[in-house]
Chain A
């Protein structure tokens, strides 16, 4: 009986913890969705980072903490993108320690590299462009069914001049591929990354 009590309470407590985590993720996702300003986006990032630091073994909050950092930098043209990238990379590193060879985390690496590339595209495209394409290649290799590497690659290549292997025609094929992958894509949980379809559609429209 005592055993049963312990098991039951552990189960209940575990459930409470899981519920607490899910509640926090839900709250964070909502905050993320409603963030309109870079400040709100950074506050969302801070929230996810608190959840991540408290949990220690969940990569998702680190993932969102990094993603919102990058998005906040895009929203604020005056942000110090190199500094943001340093912060994002430290969060990405923590996520990677929890979940190695993760397609979604490789996507974040590409996003950080592209952010840094735009600081001075003329002279950085060689170095940061290489980091970005390497991350995409790894993201595809880690999960061939993940549409997001294709979305990111398409978005990136449509802005790269044709002479450097980019251009709308190249990007179009890749974005179309991402949309076919989205047809069969199911996120592992409501809190797993499930973005990109909208972005792919918008980018594809721009490629026509």
Chain B
């Protein structure tokens, strides 16, 4: 027993001695510095001895120093946000240990150069986007129309008499609009002569909008100038019932989100009728049938395992209108235009993570559009006149029944490798079938034309460091109609200058099948082609954006048509466009006040269609710009928005000119000031949005071009003309949107109180 106790005492003594020994043992100093590979100081890095508490942080000069009791072989660790952790095996003896760390930058999305700096993106997913989804709803003059908001950005030309995206000297046909990867053939409501139409889809369907004014990704094709890509929302935040009331429309809908937020479905109906509005705001043309539309859309979405997403969207619209204008070809007569449109669009998309960095994106879509257009010449009593044996009058009577089917399927595989490098590749097929029956005095002319288009494409984002990224891409396309192939290489190189600014160079070849309506008689032509060269400088922070872009576009193989513009004769048309664009957005300088300024300079000429010579096309202006202002009072939930859009005159065709003076006339300077307010009160239990907008507040005269008579001449022997102007000098919008939401966070709060 005594022995045991003695032994115990002994061991306690040993342990005590050990402990005392430990504390008596001298500490060793460890010191050094932390820098990155380029020798820049890293302050605030955490230096530690692995497995112990000992360590410190580097100071503002990048130096560190600490004392430790640790002895022998240990591992010294340095780490800091944005850098790879560095471990150095060292041996600690009696003497001061000096270790200098050189940390390697970690390539990650937050700090890496942006490859797509040339595009405008409205999204809240990514850091540092130029636009937010909300901007589309709160831009004055845009009336929550996506394309109208795009028109306030540099590179996009406002063309008052026609819908579509006119980008950098390109026509509306040269831009494609894409929803979840599939091309939308009839994004806008069907054309009415002289009156620009809205886009069909509500901006609230989309969570991401990417607008590229040139040099876009190899994932897309068949657009000589640009691509606008829209990404629909996934599962909405909450279940909701929505009602919209306005003098122009009535709408009702609901979204039902499952309790586990894994699936949702919704249905909405929208009725637009301009009868009341046109009584309140007199229109220059005589709308004998005020525009009226019925729209039904439905969606179903669910999350699959592994965070995949499946979405179905279906849209059906039926609309008709009739408008009458005085005839320029005969005094006292009128031209009456009526349109019946049926449009159907459905989109099924599925994306899934496959593991090991692989992701699959697939989409299939079917769309159908039918336009029945009827024009006739009427007398003062609005009755159709009989044959008068004046061809330009007799042939104004016609009926066109045009139907378009489009079926498409697309799959893209996405693989991540290294830190954030990505390779994408995939294929797509489109089948377009257009049929039309054209009836006039001479008889009925049915036509049918179809194209089976296939494409394969690949692209890779390669980050050489956080500062340098390279994106090579290639796209190979085949058109069954042309029976031809094309190979389109694309490349983008981006270099980051400092934390917020970067510089990039883009190059790309872009092909497009000529418009099918010209190819009915003969389709043995090559693809149209445009080559883009773009330089971009961008300085982007949370509150400021500054961007300057210079571009050169070279058009080759543009379509030449016969004088009547009904048949293609060759693809020997050529052209160019070049310009400089500026964009500045500031959200900070003035509190709760946000503004952007854009300016575009464009020099473009082309010799295509039936042009006798190279000329600046009618949809291009030399100088154009926008100023967009937004002020929001958070407490009152009240916002005021203003926008000013302007451009110098655009060319118009004057048949009184000599052929050498083709398209040399210019319209007057275009300017419009728009104003809107939005107010978000809570009315009872409903979240309410009230929007009031006035376009062209100052009643500025706007002339988009001129229509000329084919036969009537004035006293000087010139063909008489009429200006193409908006249907009303000012336009107004008033809408009240109510939504009753079942907010689960609210349920949670109440359930726990």
Contacts and interface: CB of A to CB of B under 8 A. Distances in A.
Given A16-B19, A120-B542, A174 B237 contact: no
Contacts of A199: none
Among B8, B55, B635, B745, residue most surrounded by chain A Cβ atoms (within 10 Å): B745
A126 B237 contact: yes
Contacts of A137: 745, 748
B331 interface: no
B46 A49 contact: yes
B749 interface: yes
Contacts of B743: 165
B51 A54 contact: yes
B749 A170 contact: yes
Contacts of B7: 1, 5
A80 B743 CA distance: 31
A140 to B, nearest CB: 6
Interface string A1-27: 100110011001000100010001000
Interface stretch (A39-47, A92-100, A188-196): A39-47
B735 interface: no
A11 B687 CA distance: 64
Contact of B53 (A1, A50, A123): A50
A104 interface: no
Contacts of A140: 748, 752
A43 B12 CA distance: 38
Contacts of B664: none
Interface in B58-107: 77, 81-82
Contacts of A161: 634-635, 637, 680
B81 A86 contact: yes
B127 interface: yes
Contact of A163 (B8, B82, B111, B637): B637
B8 A4 contact: yes
A50 B48 contact: yes
Contacts of B51: 54
A177 B46 contact: no
B750 to A, nearest CB: 10
A39 B497 CA distance: 27
B81 A83 contact: yes
A163 B745 contact: no
Nearest to B635: A161
B753 interface: yes
A206 to B, nearest CB: 14
A54 B53 contact: yes
A172 to B, nearest CB: 11
A42 B753 contact: no
A148 to B, nearest CB: 14
Contacts, number: 104
Nearest to A140: B752
A152 to B, nearest CB: 13
B124 A173 contact: no
Contacts of A53: 48, 50, 77
A169 interface: no
A119 B77 CA distance: 32
Contacts of A153: 749
Interface in A24-65: 24, 39, 42-43, 46-47, 49-51, 53-54
Nearest to A123: B132
A122 interface: yes
Nearest to A55: B53
A125 B124 CA distance: 10
B81 A87 contact: yes
Contacts of A170: 749
A202 interface: no
Given A12-B15, A39-B44, A123-B134, A46 B55 contact: yes
B656 interface: no
A127 B46 CA distance: 32
Contacts of A84: 81
Interface of B: 4, 7-8, 11-12, 15, 19, 44, 46, 48, 50-57, 77, 81-82, 110-111, 124-125, 127, 132-134, 237, 542, 632, 634-635, 637, 680-682, 687, 743, 745-746, 748-749, 752-753
What 5 A-B pairs are tightest by C-beta distance, nearest first?
A123-B132, A46-B46, A133-B745, A50-B48, A123-B124
Interface of A: 1, 4-5, 8-9, 12, 16, 20, 24, 39, 42-43, 46-47, 49-51, 53-54, 80, 82-84, 86-87, 119-120, 122-124, 126-127, 130, 133, 136-137, 140, 144, 153, 161-165, 170, 173-174, 177
28 contacts: A1-B4, A4-B8, A5-B7, A12-B15, A24-B53, A42-B57, A43-B44, A43-B56, A46-B44, A50-B54, A50-B55, A53-B50, A54-B50, A54-B51, A80-B110, A83-B81, A83-B111, A86-B110, A87-B81, A122-B134, A130-B237, A133-B745, A136-B748, A137-B745, A161-B637, A164-B687, A165-B746, A177-B752
Given A122-B134, A123-B132, A161-B635, 18 more contacts: A1-B8, A4-B8, A8-B12, A12-B15, A20-B53, A42-B44, A46-B44, A53-B48, A86-B110, A123-B133, A127-B124, A130-B237, A133-B745, A137-B745, A137-B748, A140-B752, A161-B634, A163-B682
